[in-house]
Structure formats: C-alpha cells, structure tokens
Structure 1
C-alpha cells in the first residue's frame, strides 16, 4: 500500500477509530481523511502538483501531519522546517528545496505563503491520490554542523521500507498508541512516532513541547503504549525528584535514538520507571533506523542492537574492505538508503560509495552480532599519535553516581596536538568536584585517556533534536597550555 492512500484505507477499516490528536484537536479516521483531502484541495489550488515541494514551518501539531499526507496525495514532497530557525536559515532551506508553497502561520514567519487556516479546502475538490513509489516524499535537512545543511532526499520506497522495518522491529499493531515527543522536522519523529503506528492500524498523540516536570502527567493522561526520545530526555526524566511519580503502566516500551545512550543511564531509567528501554541507531540518510535492540530480548545495554531485517550493516576499514568485527566505519545498504543529497552530487558520491552508505561512525560487533558504537570518526581525539574515543571516556564518567550528563571533546595542545577535556552536568542536589571526577576516571581509564580538564556546568548545550551540541563545546575548548 502506498502511504498516500493510508487515510482512505483507515476509513474503510474503522471510520470512527482514533487516528491523530494533539493538545487542542483529536481526529478519528474519517475526520483525518477529510482533513487530508481538504488540505490537498487547498494545496492544489495554490499550484501544488506532482513533483513539487511543500515547505512546512510549524511546531508539532495535527496540521503538520495533515499537510504531509495532503502533499503526498498530490505527488509532492514535503520539507519540514524547524520553526525556531532564523529567517535566513529557514530561507536557505526553502530556496534550496525549491519549495513552491510555504505553509505555516503568517503571523509567525514572513516566509509563509499559505496560512494554516487556509488548509480547510473542499475535500470533494481533491485530486485522486498519486501512488508513485519513486516519487520524492521527504526532504530532511541535516543539522548542518559543517557548513550549510544538506537536503536528504527520501522517496516513498525509502519511507515505506523503513516503516515496515520499524513495525516488525518493535512489533507494532492496531493496539499501539504512540506519544510523539520528538520534533517533526526530523525523520525519527515522522517515521517512528507517526507513520509506523498509523500504518500498523494504531494511533498517535502529539505531546507538544517537552517539559520534564509535566511529561509524566501527560503519559498518565494519554496512556500511550510507547514513545521515542533522545538520551537527554531520559536523563531529565530519571533525574526528576523522587516524589515525581505517575502511572506509566500503559507503556510496553520506550525507544531511544539519535545518540548512543550510556548503559548506566538506561539502568537508571528502567530501575525507576520499570519500562523497557530499547536503544536503536540510524541516521537521516538511512531514513531513520538501521539497528535495534530486540524488544523481546536479549537486549544489550551499551550496544545499539542488531541490524534490522532488510538491511545490511557492516564495518569497513580505511582501505575500503569490509572487516569482520572491527573497529571500522559503520556502513549500511538496503532499500532505506537515501536517494542522495539534493543538488549535491559530489557530497552524495562521497557518502554513498559502491552501494554502501558511509555513516562516519566507528563501531564493532560483539560476539553475538550486536553493534557497539565506538564514536564518530570526526569526534576522535588524536593525542600524541594515539587515537582516543570520547564515548569511552564519557561512559567512564557516567558510572559516577553524581553525573547527570557528560561530553568529552578535544582541545588543542602545543605538544600533544589534542587532549581530552570534559564538560559535566551533575544530578540535582549532587556534589562532585573536578578532582574527584578525574580520580574516578583514573580507576577506569588508561592515563592518556583521562581528561586533562573537567568543567562542571549547570547544563550541556543541546541542538534542535536534543543531542549534546559538541561543535559548541569544541569552540569553547581553549588550548590547555
């Protein structure tokens, strides 16, 4: 089934069944299908058709999901734009994508050409759905840590293959209820929290802006069966005061992606909330996920799980040959691999070589085939000719009972080239000195891996997805002397 016809298929199966909701609006299957058809009519009247691109500048809300399906019905692609971007940043994405229509709130952005209030067109005027698997579905822009963000081209074949893998991987069916936490301008939120449950016959509730102090109340009220989040969110929830309790019994699992999660943080979260945390790994260029710790077990904290069926995940040496156990660069092949970067053939050729998507991550496989991420190639610190991986040092810091979050980056050194420095946020009410943390590391790491400086901070900087913002920390890493 093509995703463009999903609204009509859900109506045929259960017209009054719940479909999508947010804090102000709830649509059953029939209402959702009507909303999609009406939005498709409005977009069509605005000149959108097959092969066009629609930009959406909205925070997470029902209308954003409606616009996705409306554009797909017309054979158009969608590029979701982070509403927190500056006019210049958003303007680059809109211009680069070639979007002919920019949907959002005119009062919030001067770039908007179609106000969200104008989406309510006549459902009867909507053209019949376009069902071309090769048509572009999404243009997801990378975070742009090196230069301007790049547009990742994902076609309907990519998206459908990924959804099928997610549905099988976490066992979704019509009883599942996803709580959307992550932003819809990234592919994880779209695929894992919206498309996959809807394709499986389940439903989605959009949680709105995440606030740790109120989130448990949302879970108790909405009663989802799962949600997908990033390590920073789980760290905040695990650090809530002991009297912050709520009914989480509806959750059969939660999912962590976007960045590796320390085993100690997984244990802290699971011990407090008694909910299995399933860690996965992937990237936008692979349409979201490539490995997953199997919910049915065995789960291996400290790994990112097994390759999802339908994909090949391998390790490659610097000479371009595959290696058995690693470490090596993680490379991926399968129907989920992107079509390429929009208008960037050289960058595409550099990232996809001989059918392999090069991730830039260093990993190894354990004896049972579970992938262990060592670090990002670009994050590796070369100290006096020795390769150091920040993730290993961070994992050592996380074993200290006072540590809430930790990030290690390289700082320039006139003798050694680079040395590791650490930035650490402590748990609320916890006390630890930099000297104590250095001593803690000394019992777990070789001398050359021990941070030369540890800075205690109130909070670590985060990017728009909730990942720790290492580029900002690198810029702040002054030479050590």
Structure 2
C-alpha cells in the first residue's frame, strides 16, 4: 500500500483532467503522475531510501503536490513544514525528524538554508517551475515503492503544553482510509468536482481533506498560496468551485467582504469547516448568503485528521461536530470511565485513523494512547443521538485563526530574553480569529525593556501567526503553592480608552 498510488490511478482514469490549478495555469493528472515519478527518480539519485525522512517547506503551489507524492513514491516519509517557520524552528524540525533533505520555497530560502545548516541537512530551493530544471537530467521512477500499510507515510508536527513540538507518525493506511472516506462518503466527490485549496497543505486538514481527497477522486484542486478574501471569492467564481473547505475565520472573512454579492458562486454545493468551533450565527449566515450547506467536522493531526463529521445523510446539527466516521469509535470519559450522555469529559478516539505513535517519544505515546484509545485532551459531550459537541480544551493550546499555537514554545523564546524573569502566554478572545496570542511578562530586578521590544523579539524568531500581538509587563504573575504559574488567573490590562 502506498498513498501515492492514487496519483497513478487518477492518471490512468483521468489523464487529461486538471489535477491542480493555480491562477491560469493547471497541471493534468498525466503530468502529476510523470512529474512525481521524476521527483522519485531524483530522490533515488540523491540516495533517499524507503523510510528516509524528506522535509518540504512549500506553499500551496503545484510544487507541494509534486514533492509530496514524489517522496511517497520513492518510499520516503514526508515531513511537511510551514513556510513561515524561522531558522531555529526549521533546525528543530529537521533535527528531530532526522530529515537530511529539505525542499524549500525560494521566498523563504534564507531561513530554510540557515535552519538546514544548523541541522546538518541539505536545502534545495525551489521556485515556480524549478522542479523541471531539477528533473531534466534525472532518471524517472515509474513504479510506486511498495510500503506496508503500517509503514509511516507522513510525520506531522504537533505539540502539547510542555516541551518541544512532537511528530505524529501517520501511516499509509491512516491517510488512505481517511481520505477515501472523506472523498467517497462524506463529500461524495467525483472527477467533475473543483475543490477550493486555500487551506495550508502542510496541515492535516488541507492535506487529507483537500489534496488527498481530490487526487483520490480525480477532482481538481484549485490553489491559493496565501488567503485573501477577494482572491478566494474570485477563485470560487472563475474556477467554478463546487466544494469549499476552511476554518471559521475564513468563512467570516468571506462574509465580511464588501462586494461578496458580485461573485457568481452558484456552482458551490458544499462547504466543510474544521480547526475550531464555528459560531452558529456565522454558519447560518454563510448558508443563507452563499446558498451552500456548511458541514462541520472534528479531528486532530494525530487522527489523520477526521474523526467525526456532520453528514447530509444523517442530518447535520449546527454547532456540533457530528458523529464518528465509519470505522471510528468516540467516547467521552472522566478518569478513564465513560460519562453519561450530556455530561462533559475528555474525548477519546479509537480506530483506523489513530496515529502509529509520536516519533521517537515512547513515553508521550504511552500517555496519549491507552488500550488503543487516543486521549485527545479536548473536552466535549455527546447527546442522545450520538452527536459530539466540543465544550473546551484540556490542553493549553491556543487556536488562532485555525492555526495551533503552543504557549510553551513562545514562552521558551521569551525566557531567552535577558530581561525576562517570568512569562506566561495565554489565549485572548478575538471576534475575528477566535483567539489571539497574549503574553504577560515579569522583568528581572533592574532590567529595562518595553512590551513592544519583547513583541518584536519574539516576532523575529517564530512564524508570523505565533508571536503575541499583545504583550504587557506585570509586577508579578499569580502562582500556586508549588510555584506554578496560574494562567487562569491572569487578567490582561484593559485596552487604551477602555474601562
């Protein structure tokens, strides 16, 4: 079994249909098959063996798909990375995964090269059409390297409340079954569908639910490298998009676009939302304005990602995340025991979508997966009809516009500043993004700096979506008897002019 086999199948069944589209340019399934085969040949020529990790730090362009499926065809393991990462983050991902080869977009070449040098890896810089130049002298590997269904296909980095990000090992079976169920049962995709590709492909949601689902069904994925509401609406109209996928913030941005009614989106038949809870008012307004049903689902990187979904067949319940998909069990537990319907507890998941393990982290794997159940750290409840509702998060993660921000990572950077004695990063309510990143800082005795300087210090070292937009300097942070900072008791200062 190899996830890349979907490319070969769609190339055989739909050779001249567009697989990927970016602006006026498109890549057919025949071309995707041939170019990913050349990519596999290039990797073999560079000594990449089955099971070797290869990192890709590319935006939503055709090059991402060519690299992704090329690595899989060669039997390698893909390590997707956010193109916004800074060099220290690049070095960590490469060093932790053991990836010795990184394909990076030309716009982020400096950070990629610096991080790769720190990790002792090679960075190959790619620009539009750059793969063709790389492929020109190389061999073609038409075959798809056979991999066992339990072999790791992708390592997606995620994190908890402590320590550095950790890699969730997703197998070929995890990803193939998840995208097949998404394509055939939940979205009922056909080769005539056009899917909006604005979700980051390095993320589990965009990767499985748009890229892999599209390729598995022979549909077209129309790409948007950086989200912009006007550009997104233009794509929906000009490319006759039938399936839209986004996080709640994206839905809100489309609704806020002043000239939204000027775009013909009549081909749109379905939208899916995930990443964080969508306000019911936004869901209803989007359905009314765009005459398109919105279906919410739930999942995590560790679950490939989809675990539950609202389906048209069963009837969606706005505000819920639906029922478990086929082959998946979900339950709500407290201290390992299932709680009655309607009561809140931690959501646990079991089934073919649960990751193999955390890469080289046996203790954290054992803590997360117990008796075959993956304990999500998310708090929820289940109603009498079996629909699940998310009510909070046990983990201390901040979800900013659909992106996960892990406080400990940002706190580590703040603590590196010579003036900082204590730091606590928390999520602040935000009407547009859901949550914004805030940081409370206590300075060392005699130290002098400003909140603005601290904000810029962090901004220079982490991806743009992670740094705290609001930083304030406090005399002290609330602490418990053991000295642990009590984040729940931290109250940010009022905005200027507020009460």
Assess same fold via TM > 0.5: yes
Q: Aligned pair 1:40/2:56, yes or no?
A: no
Query: What is the alpha-carbon distance in structure 2 between the residues aligned to residue 199 and residue 90 of structure 1?
Result: 31
Structure 2 partner of 1:150: 166
How far apart are 1:75 and its partner, in Å? 0.8
How far apart are 1:21 and its partner, in Å? 2.1
Structure 2 partner of 1:72: 72
Q: Report the 3-state secondary structure (helix = DSSP H, G, I; strand = E; otherwise coil) of the residue aligned with 1:196.
A: helix
Question: Do the aligned residues in 2 keep the contact of 1:41 with 1:122 (CA within 8 Å)?
Answer: no
Query: What is the alpha-carbon distance in structure 1 between the residues aligned to residue 465 and residue 382 of structure 2?
Result: 27
Query: What is the alpha-carbon distance in structure 1 between the residues aligned to residue 348 and residue 465 of structure 2?
Result: 24
Q: Aligned pair 1:175/2:192, yes or no?
A: yes
Give structure 1 stretches of 5+ with no counterpart: 381-389, 392-408, 410-419, 428-460
Question: Do the aligned residues in 1 keep the contact of 2:161 with 2:396 (CA within 8 Å)?
Answer: no
Q: Aligned pair 1:265/2:282, yes or no?
A: yes
Question: Do the aligned residues in 2 keep the contact of 1:55 with 1:94 (CA within 8 Å)?
Answer: yes
Query: What is the alpha-carbon distance in structure 1 between the residues aligned to residue 84 and residue 328 of structure 2?
Result: 34
Query: What is the alpha-carbon distance in structure 2 between the residues aligned to residue 291 and residue 470 of structure 1?
Result: 33
Residue 76 to residue 121, structure 1, CA distance change in 2 (3 Å): farther
Q: Aligned pair 1:237/2:254, yes or no?
A: yes
Deviation digits for residues 339-374 of structure 1, max 9, x if unmatched? 111111111111111110001111111221110111
Q: Aligned pair 1:114/2:156, yes or no?
A: no
Structure 1 partner of 2:491: 478
Structure 2 partner of 1:95: 95
Structure 2 partner of 1:165: 181
Residue 52 to residue 25, structure 1, CA distance change in 2 (3 Å): farther
Q: Aligned pair 1:213/2:226, yes or no?
A: no
Structure 1 partner of 2:2: 2
Query: For structure 1, which segment, 469-478 or 58-67, has the greater mean C-alpha deviation from structure 2 after superposition?
Result: 469-478
Residue 58 to residue 480, structure 1, CA distance change in 2 (3 Å): closer
Structure 1 partner of 2:381: 364
Question: Do the aligned residues in 2 keep the contact of 1:158 with 1:335 (CA within 8 Å)?
Answer: yes
Query: For structure 1, which segment, 93-102 or 289-298, has the greater mean C-alpha deviation from structure 2 after superposition?
Result: 289-298
Q: Aligned pair 1:186/2:199, yes or no?
A: no
1:294 to 287, 296, 311: 311
Residue 70 to residue 293, structure 1, CA distance change in 2 (3 Å): same
Question: Do the aligned residues in 1 keep the contact of 2:84 with 2:464 (CA within 8 Å)?
Answer: no
Question: Do the aligned residues in 1 keep the contact of 2:14 with 2:218 (CA within 8 Å)?
Answer: no
Structure 1 partner of 2:450: none
Structure 2 partner of 1:228: 245
Structure 2 partner of 1:246: 263
Deviation digits for residues 221-264 of structure 1, max 9, x if unmatched? 11111121111111111222266531111111111001111111
Query: What is the alpha-carbon distance in structure 1 between the residues aligned to residue 310 and residue 394 of structure 2?
Result: 23
Deviation digits for residues 133-159 of structure 1, max 9, x if unmatched? 222110111156643111110110111
Question: Do the aligned residues in 2 keep the contact of 1:279 with 1:293 (CA within 8 Å)?
Answer: yes
Query: What is the alpha-carbon distance in structure 2 between the residues aligned to residue 40 and residue 426 of structure 1?
Result: 42
How far apart are 1:173 and its partner, in Å? 2.2
Query: For structure 1, which segment, 6-15 or 184-193, has the greater mean C-alpha deviation from structure 2 after superposition?
Result: 6-15
Q: What TM-score do you get using the length of structure 1 for normalisation? A: 0.78
Query: What is the alpha-carbon distance in structure 1 between the residues aligned to residue 239 and residue 198 of structure 2?
Result: 13
Residue 174 to residue 466, structure 1, CA distance change in 2 (3 Å): farther
Give structure 2 stretches of 5+ with no counterpart: 117-121, 400-406, 408-425, 434-458, 473-486, 495-499
Query: What is the alpha-carbon distance in structure 2 between the residues aligned to residue 4 and residue 350 of structure 1?
Result: 32
State the superposition RMSD in angstroms.
3.2
Query: What is the alpha-carbon distance in structure 2 between the residues aligned to residue 24 and residue 477 of structure 1?
Result: 50
Residue 56 to residue 475, structure 1, CA distance change in 2 (3 Å): farther
Deviation digits for residues 388-446 of structure 1, max 9, x if unmatched? xx99xxxxxxxxxxxxxxxxx9xxxxxxxxxx99645489xxxxxxxxxxxxxxxxxxx
How far apart are 1:310 and its partner, in Å? 0.9
Q: Report the 3-state secondary structure (helix = DSSP H, G, I; strand = E; otherwise coil) of the residue aligned with 1:113.
A: strand
Q: Report the 3-state secondary structure (helix = DSSP H, G, I; strand = E; otherwise coil) of the residue aligned with 1:248.
A: coil
Q: Report the 3-state secondary structure (helix = DSSP H, G, I; strand = E; otherwise coil) of the residue aligned with 1:290.
A: strand
Residue 221 to residue 285, structure 1, CA distance change in 2 (3 Å): same
Query: What is the alpha-carbon distance in structure 2 between the residues aligned to residue 62 and residue 209 of structure 1?
Result: 14
Structure 2 partner of 1:255: 272
Question: Do the aligned residues in 2 keep the contact of 1:55 with 1:103 (CA within 8 Å)?
Answer: yes
Query: For structure 1, which segment, 273-282 or 10-19, has the greater mean C-alpha deviation from structure 2 after superposition?
Result: 10-19
1:349 to 366, 371, 379: 366
Query: For structure 1, which segment, 81-90 or 170-179, has the greater mean C-alpha deviation from structure 2 after superposition?
Result: 170-179
Q: Report the 3-state secondary structure (helix = DSSP H, G, I; strand = E; otherwise coil) of the residue aligned with 2:262.
A: coil
